[in-house]
Amino acid sequence: MFRRTRRTRNNAVIRDLISNVNLSMNDFLYPIFIEEGSNIKTEIEAMPNQFRFSIDKLKEELEEIVSLGIKGILLFGIPKDKDETASEAYNENGIIQKAVRYIKSNFPELLIVTDVCMCEYTSHGHCGILCDTNVDNDSTLEYIAKIALSHVEAGSDMVAPSDCMDGHVYAIRNILDKNGYYNTPIMSYSVKYASCYYSPFRIAADSAPSFGDRKSYQMDYRNSKEYITKIENDIKENADIFIIKPALSYLDIIKDVSSKFNIPIAAYNVSGEYSMIKAASKLGFIDEKKAVLENMHALKRAGADIIITYHAKDLSRYLKEI
């Protein structure tokens, strides 16, 4: 005798009653690109409906974000000037620092998370300090810590180091604690793979490396074990939230981490994943709304507590319609 599982699927009300994977606007963080300059609102060609904003053009965008029920944003900065040590990244009057102060003053209800890295700010496009043509891990830590502190001093609610240096969480936690910011959480890009899915982001943020690649410090997707060590290291270093990136090609990693560790997980639904949906939808190959909702539920089902996604504004509408 077989069990008729279809009995609980043949009625919409029953399906709703027993569904146990649900989405709300509380689940999402929305990334925003902020460019130094004025009167800038430029659509990113590789990411339809995503823009680079100057601070003077943020007001309308942030008003919409708040009205849609988005509670938190993740900021990426694009400076005018770049150098070998990413000095604009930790300048107290840098683009992110000024943006944080503006948002805190005008939209205090928004949670501000700031990406902490050097790639957008270095002349060579790599995520740290170079020694010949290699990124030097330990000398980079000092700069990453300085960047994080400058963001928090400007008013950032949470810092998210994405540089992938070993020991970066410890370096940030140490400098924040020394300066009295004991309660500022760190959302670490704990499991960040070297991925082709970042290509649209690198166009958006002017952050592509000018030579080589980032495979020596971002993780190899062919390795099925290293992510455990990365998570364990960040736990020991006192990270508070753990990002897994990209998201959709790494559902197995999200699921395994959520099963093995009692930690908050943020899945980063990255630019390439977003752009593929937009491109396929434009060509009429898929239904965008259905595809986005299916993907978001997959991330939640795998174990994500937070979803960082460029779809967040669309999801506000989609969730009201279902």
Supply the DSSP string of 271-287, one letter for each residue.
Answer: HHHHHHHHHHHHTTSS-
Ordered per-residue pLDDT tens for the chain, 322 residues? 788 889 889 998 989 898 999 999 999 999 999 999 999 999 999 999 999 999 999 999 999 999 999 999 999 999 999 999 999 999 999 999 999 999 999 999 999 999 999 999 999 999 999 999 999 999 999 999 999 999 999 999 999 999 999 999 999 999 999 999 999 999 999 999 999 999 999 999 999 999 999 999 999 999 999 999 999 999 999 999 999 999 999 999 999 999 999 999 999 999 999 999 999 999 999 999 999 999 999 999 999 999 999 999 999 999 999 7
Euclidean distance between CA atoms 322 and 315, whole angstroms: 11
Closest C-alpha among 180, 140, 159 to residue 74:
159
Residue carrying structure tokens 């690109």 = 33
pLDDT at site 1: 79
Closest C-alpha among 23, 112, 115, 29 to residue 70:
29
Catalytic site includes residue 192: yes
Euclidean distance between CA atoms 11 and 152, whole angstroms: 51
Catalytic site includes residue 98: no
pTM of the full structure? 0.96
User: Which one of 57, 146, 192, 230 is the catalytic residue?
Assistant: 192
Distances (CA, A) of 191 to 162, 228, 268: 10, 9, 10
Residue 1 in tokens: 């005798």
User: Which one of 245, 278, 300, 313 is the catalytic residue?
Assistant: 245
Euclidean distance between CA atoms 316 and 194, whole angstroms: 30
What residues pair up with 116 in beta bridges, in sequence order? 161
